Amino acid sequence: MNYFLVFLGAAIPWLELGLVIPLGIISGLNPLAVIIVGFIGNMVTVLALIIGYDKFKLWLAKRNEGKEQKVSKRSERAKALWDKYGLPGMLMLGPILIGTHVAAFIGMTLGASKFKTTIWSTISIGVWAIIFGVATSLGFDFFVRE
């Protein structure tokens, strides 16, 4: 049951890996299992977002048909991040700055392919899951040592 909560927490945008993995490890769960389950939970919903992006894009186009399009400040900032760091940088920084789901969505909105978004999301989520897991395990072990 506790591992299911790790999976569910990692799948929910804004909870994600940075909170769920440390909480799972601190609560006494096996660190390796928490890292793996957290990775899978986060990847499942990111993959669903990537796969369903085209349908969302069609729905949005129909909804905005005939309306004047304004460019928001948020969109301008996202474009600036994209121009500075590209897809790899945006997705690698995503888990600590804006969340993996938002980073993948912005990347695809700005023209990244599903394949590249999937590859870089997988790398990013894997790297950050390991970082959060190892850092928590080492830090927690440091504080509970006698």
Mean pLDDT of the chain: 86
Separation CA 60–CA 73 (nearest Å): 19
Q: What is the pTM of this model?
A: 0.81
Q: Where are the domains of the chain?
A: 2-144
**pLDDT tens figures, 67-84:** 776 766 766 766 777 888
**pLDDT tens figures, 93-117:** 888 888 888 889 889 988 899 999 9
CB 20 within 8 A of CB 128: no
Instruction: State the maximum Cα–Cα separation within the chain, in Å, rounded to a whole number.
Output: 68
Separation CA 109–CA 90 (nearest Å): 13
